[in-house]
Structure 1
Amino acid sequence: MKQIIQSFKTGETILEELPAPQVKRGHVLIQTTKSLVSLGTERMLVEFGKSNLISKARQQPDKVKMVLDKIKTEGLMPTLEAVFNKLGEPLPLGYCNVGKVIEVGEGVSEFKVGDRVASNGGHAEFVCIPKNLVASIPDNVTDEQAAFTVIGSIGLQGIRLCEPTLGETIVVTGLGLIGLMTAQLLKANGCNVIGIDFDQMKLDLAKKWGITTINPAQGEDPVKTVMQLTDGVGADGVIITASTKSNDVISQAAQMSRKRGRIILVGVIGLELSRAEFYEKELSFQVSCSYGPGRYDEDYETKGNDYPLPFVRWTEKRNFETILSSISKKYIEVDPLITEVVELKDYLKIYGEIGSSKSIASLLNYSDITYSNTITVSQNRGNSSNKSNKGVAIVGAGNFTKMTMLPAMMNLGMDLQYIVSSGGLSGTTLAKKFQIIQSTTDYDQVLKDANINTVMITTRHHLHAPMVKAALMAGKNVFVEKPLALNNEELKEIINAYNNSKATLTVGFNRRFSPHALKMKKAIGYGDTPINVIATMNAGAIPPDVWVHDLKVGGGRIIGEACHFIDLISYFTGSKVVSVCMNAMGINPEENTDNASILLKYENGSNGVINYFANGSKAYSKERVEIYSQERTLVLDNWRKLKAYGFKGFKGMKSKLDKGHKSQFTLLAQQINSGGDSLIEFESLVNTTQASFAAIESLKSQSWVDVMN
């Protein structure tokens, strides 16, 4: 399929060939017929992409601080690599999509194949959208009209926050596409509407709908005019839909408001507020969030959990439906807003001059569409004539794959046949960069390909176990990023699949392969003498709504991340965990935590302590490991500096940040090409996974928990 994307690195707008998405649970798969270009929002993205690095940095000072902190802890080059990788991520454009449903995912009953629907899908021939971001189109509404659904909902949410009543005077500042639809909706609500803009064409259009207009470009003073039109009272509400860096807009909004007036920001403006202007009138100011309640809520949008109507009357989906109903009942008109309709292949007629365009609404038309979930990207590797059944498929195209795994795998001689991603864009981008032959959204196709020897899984954690199980059952060797599973039931299924397969299984516990870890292990010896190990992870706080915290998706940070150190300590001790006790910060800790201390008791008498903390300074080292053995001590600081105390003839070690990824994937490449056992014994992988589960059980029971054997 074809999709319009924006490069933040070059500023180029591209019509990209991508594999089409597959339908997912709680989603519908839509074949696009029309999409609307949001000239205001998309113009900002295009212009940001075209700006130089210094300009980008000035626009995002908070990101600059994050970069400086990362340089202090991880070094200059790793940080620069991360920054340039981030800038290299293409952005899919568009969020006003119309089409017909061609497939319905499990758990969706509201839609059926053939339904015409509007959604927040992008400019792509096929989109897979969660059901709460999709609305059915009334029969008397055309696809062109329905393309205004999402844009209209943005304006509608601003109106709902303003709470206008019949007869009130509401000012709309900025009569672009959102502003013109907002003004119409206010008029339909029985309000006296005043529109402000510098474009006379847009003002003339607004007049046809009975909207009073003000054009500052012709010398009209917005504040004085509004005060005059309201007999000196001022506007009851001001809805700002403009886009400007100037602070004048917010100041004028305050000046033209009546006492205790309401100001709602829908657009993007300068926000240096004058306290006096707001204080004297007791004005209220609120920023509107996109389409309405539910926006950016993972439970609502992705998982499909609706808010109960008696408590949340207007969600983003119900706002979609309201706009479609308003168009159907002729409360608002959108046909006059359409400036042009362009075929998708001619997209540059819109984007080529988007910076100077005077269009109000530009529509893209989709025709001659062919569905394919796999595309060939590169011919530089693994030609069909020399296939040797040693092909590699990478499943997952997120940050770890892009910034850590694939760079570490370069020049290792792996036959990279596939990369699998859910949407197709991220996978195709990486396929081009790292010369992977095919990009696909179909995992089953990979498992059926006899040329694939090894599947490397780096998806979100809840997909690890089912994908590992399926790959083992298909006879594929498996590398899976940690964790192996999220619960004992999943682990049992993997154990059964492994025992019934001749394939190998490796979990990405990379730290044991670091040169620092190897030198530490050699120093303390390979005997069975008990040792004490303390591992501290200054993990840093991440927002509570990030998927890693979701126990059903990420498993929490202990199962999802602290397992690294359980494996590392097991490697140093040469033994298995037999019992675990975990204590978490807080009076009443929950089963999910990222501030905890874990005690590990080993079969050979060794002790391990893992301090996994999220409340430390980012300026401090992220990881620290200490080993105490026979009156000797080893201290490793952030995988860069190793010091020894009490070891005769032992020299310390310094290096750039090296957590063992390169060594791990080098060994994996050798295993793929030459055969051999898993990089880590299967029994050790199981023991580490069970120990992570035991840590959570210990937190619940507030007691020591034995690890299953």
Structure 2
Amino acid sequence: MKQILQSFKTGVTELAELPSPRVKGGQVLIQTTRSLVSLGTERMLVEFGKASLIQKARQQPDKVKMVLDKIKTEGLMPTIETVFNKLEQPLPLGYCNVGKVVAVGKGVTDFKVGDRVASNGQHAEFVSVPQNLVAHIPDNISDEEAAFTVIGSIGLQGIRLVNPTMGETIVVIGLGLIGLLTAEMLVANGCTVIGYDLDDKKVEIAKEKGIIAFNPLKGNDPVKFVLNQTNNIGADGVVITASAKTNDIISQAAQMSRKRGRITLVGVIGLNISRAEFYEKELTFQVSCSYGPGRYDDDYEFKGIDYPLPFVRWTEKRNFETVLQLISTGKLEVQSLISEVVPLEEYDKIYGDIGNSKSIASIIKYSEDTKPENTIVVNKKDLQPAKGIIGLVGAGNFTKMTLLPALKGSDAQIKHIVSSGGVNGTALAQKHNIAQSTTDYDLVLDDKDVDLVMITTRHNLHANMVTKALDKGKHVFVEKPLALNHEELEAIEASYQKSNGTLMIGFNRRFSPHTQKIKSLVGDAPMNVIATMNAGAIPPEVWVHDMEVGGGRIIGEACHYLDLIVYLTGSKIKSVCMNALGENPAENTDNASILVKLENGSTGVVNYFANGSKSYAKERLEVFSQEKTLIMDNFIKTTGYGTKGFSKLKTKLDKGHKAQFGAIVNKIKEGDIALIPYDELINVTKASFAAIQSLKEGKWIDIE
């Protein structure tokens, strides 16, 4: 399929050939017929992409601080590589999509094949969209009109927050597409609407829709104009849909408001607010979030959990439906806002000079004859099956920033890369000379050439993918964790016992030169190991905290150090006991300490903390044994005390990824990838589950 992408690095917009997405559970697969270009938002993204690195940094000072912190802890070159990798990520454009449902995912009940729908899908021939971000289109609305649904809901949410009542005077600052839609919906709500913009064309369109509109450049002072229109009372509410860096707009909004007036920001402006202007009138100010309640809530958008209507009357989906109803009844007229309808192949007519475009609404038209193709050939390669062919599943940050760079220079032969949407996988296939990009995992499993499946997806997908690959007789590498619960682990063990394939988890820290040096100096004698991870806080809404999706940070990440202790002591874990910070420690596994007893009498402590300084080293390891002490600092420096003939090892940051993946590529040629004993992989996984159980029950838990 074809999809419009934009480079954050260069600002170049292209029409890319990608594999079509496969419909997921809770989603519908839509064949696009029309999409609307949001010129304001998309112009901003294109201009950001075209900016120099210095200009990008000035626009995102918070990101600059993150980069500086990373340089302090990990060094200059790794940080530079990370920044450039991020900038190379292509960005799919668009969020106003109309089309026909061609497939429905598991659990979808509101839609069927053949339905015409509007969604926040991208500019692509096929999109897979969660059902709570999709709405049915009434029969009397054309596809072009329905393309205004999502962008109209942005304005509608701003209106809901300003809470207008019939007869009130509401000012709309900025009469671009969202501003015009907002103003017309306010008129339909029975309000007197005043709007202003610097573009005469937009002002004239607004006047035709019953809006009192003017251009401040033609001599009208916005504050005086509004006060004159309201008999010096001021506006009851102001909706700001403009995009500008100046602080003048928020000041004007305050000055033109009546006492206890309401101001809602939908656009992007400077927000250096004068306390006096807001204090004297007791003004309220609120920033509107996109389409409405549910936005950026994974439970609502991706799990399909609706907000109960008696308590949250207007969600983003119900806003979509309201906009469609307004268009259907003629209360919102959008046909006159269409400046152009352009075939997808001629997308550059819109994007070629988007910075100077005077268009109000540009519509992209799609062919209805296109068929979905889940796999495309990116690079024609002569692969040699006898040397071990790889199918790579997952194209997220780990694959992009760690796995593929670590494989660079090896003779790894990657035939397939699988990604859910096709965008990331295709970009990585192009960069790393991978033969095919696909959205079909089963294609990899059914390919007899593929010897090794490497899985780097979200954690909740690991167990099922591992089981299916083992059932097909494939060798499997899976980035940690192996599973999220005992049921998943039991299914993997059952498949492993019947399979000809071998299994490896991405416990890369074993392979670091620092770990190898420590192991050589202490041998297998009983020891005490203290491992500390200064992990840093992750916002609570991020998927890693969801026990059903990410498994939490102990199962998902602290397992690295449980494995490292097993490796260094040469002994499996016998029992664990975990405690965590706070009055409700079971809810705070970000800040926890795990005590570990090993079968050979060694002991370990894993400190996993998220409340430390980012400027301090992220990882630290201390080993005490036979009157020797070894301190490893962030996989950059290891210092020995009482270690005859060794005092210090210093390298660039090396967590063992390159050595691990190099060893896997070499070992698969021998017919397996068993670099870590299978019973240790299972033992460490069970120990991570036991740590969570220990926290809940407040006692030591023995490992079976």
Quickly name the TM-score band, shorter chain normalised: over 0.9
Most deviating of 388-397 and 242-251: 388-397
Specify the alignment match of 2:477 in structure 1. 479
CA distance in 2, matches of 1:552, 1:129: 21
Q: CA contact under 8 A between 1:591 and 1:700: conserved in structure 2? A: no
CA distance in 2, matches of 1:389, 1:519: 31
Residue identity matched to 1:650: F
CA distance in 1, matches of 2:41, 2:420: 25
- Distance apart, 1:676 and its partner CA: 4.2
CA distance in 2, matches of 1:604, 1:248: 71
Specify the alignment match of 2:63 in structure 1. 63
Question: Of 512, 515, 522, which residue of structure 2 is paired with 1:514?
Answer: 512
**Number of aligned residue pairs:** 703
- Distance apart, 1:677 and its partner CA: 5.1
CA distance in 2, matches of 1:579, 1:387: 44
Specify the alignment match of 1:686 in structure 2. 682
Residue identity matched to 1:421: S
- Distance apart, 1:387 and its partner CA: 3.7
Specify the alignment match of 2:215 in structure 1. 215
CA distance in 2, matches of 1:494, 1:592: 29
CA distance in 1, matches of 2:487, 2:382: 38
1:608 matched to 2:609? The reply is no
- Distance apart, 1:34 and its partner CA: 0.1
Q: CA contact under 8 A between 1:389 and 1:451: conserved in structure 2? A: no
Residue identity matched to 1:301: E
- For 1:180-199, what aligned pairs fall within 5 Å after superposition? 180-199=180-199
SS in 1 for 2:355: coil
Specify the alignment match of 1:648 in structure 2. 644
- For 1:463-478, what aligned pairs fall within 5 Å after superposition? 463-478=461-476
CA distance in 1, matches of 2:500, 2:251: 71
Residue identity matched to 1:355: G
Question: Of 619, 625, 628, which residue of structure 1 is paired with 2:621?
Answer: 625
Specify the alignment match of 1:251 in structure 2. 251
Q: CA contact under 8 A between 2:504 and 2:673: conserved in structure 1? A: no
Specify the alignment match of 2:126 in structure 1. 126
Residue identity matched to 2:292: G
Specify the alignment match of 1:702 in structure 2. 698
- Distance apart, 1:206 and its partner CA: 1.1
Structure 2: tracts of 5 or more residues without a match: none
Specify the alignment match of 2:31 in structure 1. 31
Residue identity matched to 2:515: A
Residue identity matched to 1:657: L
Alpha-carbon spacing, 1:230–1:677, altered in 2? closer, same or farther (3 Å)? closer
CA distance in 1, matches of 2:13, 2:688: 46
Specify the alignment match of 1:377 in structure 2. 378
1:667 matched to 2:666? The reply is no
- For 1:132-143, what aligned pairs fall within 5 Å after superposition? 132-143=132-143
- Distance apart, 1:441 and its partner CA: 0.3
SS in 1 for 2:62: helix
1:104 matched to 2:100? The reply is no
Among the aligned pairs, what percent are the same residue? 68
Question: Of 392, 405, 408, which residue of structure 1 is paired with 2:406?
Answer: 408
Q: CA contact under 8 A between 2:9 and 2:49: conserved in structure 1? A: yes
SS in 1 for 2:645: coil
CA distance in 2, matches of 1:193, 1:266: 16
1:504 matched to 2:502? The reply is yes
CA distance in 2, matches of 1:640, 1:203: 62
1:442 matched to 2:446? The reply is no
Structure 1: tracts of 5 or more residues without a match: none
Q: Deviations over 1:112-168 (max 9, x none)?
A: 000000000000000000000000000001100000000100000000000000000
Question: Which ranges of 4 or more aligned residues in structure 1 deviate by more than 6 Å?
Answer: none
SS in 2 for 1:210: coil
Q: CA contact under 8 A between 1:389 and 1:452: conserved in structure 2? A: no
Q: CA contact under 8 A between 1:598 and 1:609: conserved in structure 2? A: yes
- Distance apart, 1:370 and its partner CA: 2.6
- Distance apart, 1:371 and its partner CA: 1.2
SS in 2 for 1:280: helix
CA distance in 2, matches of 1:203, 1:566: 65
CA distance in 1, matches of 2:612, 2:273: 34
Question: Of 546, 549, 552, which residue of structure 1 is paired with 2:548?
Answer: 552
CA distance in 2, matches of 1:592, 1:483: 19
Q: Deviations over 1:214-266 (max 9, x none)?
A: 21121111111110010010100010000111111111111111111111000
- For 1:557-572, what aligned pairs fall within 5 Å after superposition? 557-572=553-568
SS in 1 for 2:356: coil
- Distance apart, 1:592 and its partner CA: 5.5
Q: CA contact under 8 A between 2:620 and 2:634: conserved in structure 1? A: yes
CA distance in 2, matches of 1:148, 1:307: 24
Q: CA contact under 8 A between 1:551 and 1:592: conserved in structure 2? A: no
Q: CA contact under 8 A between 2:641 and 2:647: conserved in structure 1? A: no
CA distance in 2, matches of 1:341, 1:26: 32
Specify the alignment match of 1:12 in structure 2. 12
SS in 1 for 2:341: strand
Specify the alignment match of 1:268 in structure 2. 268
- Distance apart, 1:612 and its partner CA: 0.5
Question: Of 437, 441, 454, which residue of structure 1 is paired with 2:452?
Answer: 454
Q: CA contact under 8 A between 1:31 and 1:99: conserved in structure 2? A: yes
Q: CA RMSD in A?
A: 0.9
Q: CA contact under 8 A between 1:104 and 1:111: conserved in structure 2? A: yes
